[in-house]
Amino acid sequence: MHDVALFVEDHAHRQVVGALVQRLAEESGLAVRLDWRSAVRGHGRVVQELKQYLTDLTQQGDHPDLIVVATDANCSGWQQRIRDIDVSATVSPVVLAVPDPHIERWLLLDGAAFKSVFGKGCDAPDRKCDRGRYKHKLFTSVRATGMVPRLGGIEFAEDIVRQMDIRSAARADPSLHRFVEELRHVFQQWKVAGRRTNL
């Protein structure tokens, strides 16, 4: 069992990123335990709590197998978000999930997965930096299927991710591609290390 510490902005990130980590770990034949360190109050809180966590790790020495940090690019862009997140103080591998511009867009990338869950597909999302645009699009897309999105549609994130053609969705979104590839790389390293241990 591998321990993964996660720092995310909010409930939407927790649902989507958690589902992706679990699915990709399962596809790699690995078991992971998710330790949610921050899942509220946005980007600033993620940066603040991550910094404190890394300071505590340095003093205590109990490092997780992986740290995942998720924060929307918003209108700042991927590069700026990466500059905001200082992970130089850890020996644990770190994978960043920086949806560009927002996490809800990832759930709209695969119309076939959406149709598998709801019985009706969704239109491919555009790419615009407009606060709330993809939250609204997810809500209206779910509602158009006849379902009642009580939490804006994010409550169906795990179902959508389970049905998603991740390779195809990642080709349609560079930010998802980057996250998936970095996560798979870490998981591959774990598998190789596990095989060496068993020799």
Cα-based distances in Å from 24 to 18, 31, 141, 161: 10, 10, 26, 10
Q: Is 87 helix (H, G, I), strand (E, B) or coil?
A: coil
First-to-final CA distance of the chain: 19
Per-residue pLDDT tens over the stretch 94-112: 999 999 999 999 999 999 9
* Residues whose CB is less than 8 angstroms from the CB of residue 118 and which lie 6 or more positions away in sequence, other chains included: 142, 145, 146, 147, 156
pTM: 0.93
Cα-based distances in Å from 21 to 43, 48, 51, 161: 20, 23, 22, 10
Per-residue pLDDT tens over the stretch 62-95: 899 999 999 999 877 778 888 888 888 788 999 9
Per-residue pLDDT band for 149 (boundaries 50, 70, 90) equals very high
- Mean pLDDT over 166-186 rounds to 96
Which residue type sits at 120? K
The answer to whether 15 touches 174, Cβ cutoff 8 Å, is: no
Cα-based distances in Å from 44 to 7, 10, 35, 183: 11, 11, 20, 24
Which residue type sits at 109? L
Handedness of CA 118, 122, 127, 132 (dihedral sign): negative
Residue 100 to residue 133: CA distance in whole angstroms: 12
Q: Interior CA angle at 109 toward 20 and 154, to 5°?
A: 60
